[in-house]
């Protein structure tokens, strides 16, 4: 009787450990990393840890001295998430009067890992160099993998991004360009200061 109970307990423990190991492998039990500077702190204060998971920061480009902040999105229903983050960071930039180049990337989960969904920068980079902006005014929109998030993902809809303030540079995937056409969105009407517009070829 005692051996049977011991075997049953061991089996249950192995099952629990297997679930935990698999969960960590797929990022199900990740805890939010502690904010480590003013920008990650102000983003934490405005969106908390239930909407995005902070993966930390790193150097963004080899030829441009920029800091890239990486976030994995948890809340796929909050259409104001990116705007809230941008407004908080822009307010901090205005307060600090800092000319540090900043690159914020939102990643989405997909089978086997993550994919970039959208990013904001305070500089625009091209073959000739880069332009420094005062605020986060360079927007890259990639969208979600439709097969993973479904056709109705808010990050695949152009209208999700129209409330972002003062965009001057816009780079988008073809599916976002198609969404803008379907929704009757003219980017130049949304952002009169738009200087650069590019649709990625894939």
DSSP 165: S
Non-local (6+) Cβ contacts of 96 within 8 A are 38
Alpha helices in the chain (DSSP H): 2-25, 38-47, 81-96, 146-149, 174-182, 187-190
* pLDDT single digits (tens) 120-147: 999 998 888 889 999 999 999 999 875 5
Of 18-27, 53-62, 134-143, which range is least confident? Answer: 18-27
Do the Cβ atoms of 40 and 52 come closer than 8 Å? no
CA-CA distances (angstroms) from residue 107 to 88, 110, 119, 141?
19, 9, 9, 11
Tokens at residue 90, please?
């822009």
**Cα–chain-centroid distance for residue 60?**
14
Q: For 71-89, what is each residue's pLDDT tens digit?
A: 998 877 888 999 999 999 9
d(CA 182, CA 95): 39
Prediction pTM value: 0.79
């Amino acid at each position: 009787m005692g051996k049977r109970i011991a075997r049953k307990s061991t089996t249950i423990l192995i099952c629990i450990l297997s679930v935990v190991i698999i969960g960590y492998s797929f990022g199900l039990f990740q805890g939010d990393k502690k904010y480590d500077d003013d920008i990650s702190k102000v983003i934490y204060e405005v969106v908390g840890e239930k909407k995005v998971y902070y993966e930390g920061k790193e150097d963004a480009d080899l030829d441009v001295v920029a800091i890239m902040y990486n976030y994995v999105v948890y809340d796929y229903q909050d259409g104001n998430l990116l705007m809230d983050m941008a407004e908080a960071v822009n307010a901090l930039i205005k307060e600090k009067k800092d000319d540090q180049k900043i690159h914020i990337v939102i990643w989405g989960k997909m089978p086997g890992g993550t994919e970039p969904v959208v990013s904001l920068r305070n500089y625009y980079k091209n073959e000739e160099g880069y332009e420094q902006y005062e605020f986060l005014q360079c927007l890259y929109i990639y969208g979600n993998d439709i097969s993973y998030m479904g056709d109705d993902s808010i990050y695949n809809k152009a209208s999700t991004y129209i409330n972002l303030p003062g965009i001057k540079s816009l780079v988008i995937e073809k599916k976002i360009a198609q969404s803008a056409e379907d929704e009757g969105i003219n980017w130049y009407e949304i952002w009169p200061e738009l200087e650069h517009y590019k649709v990625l070829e894939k």
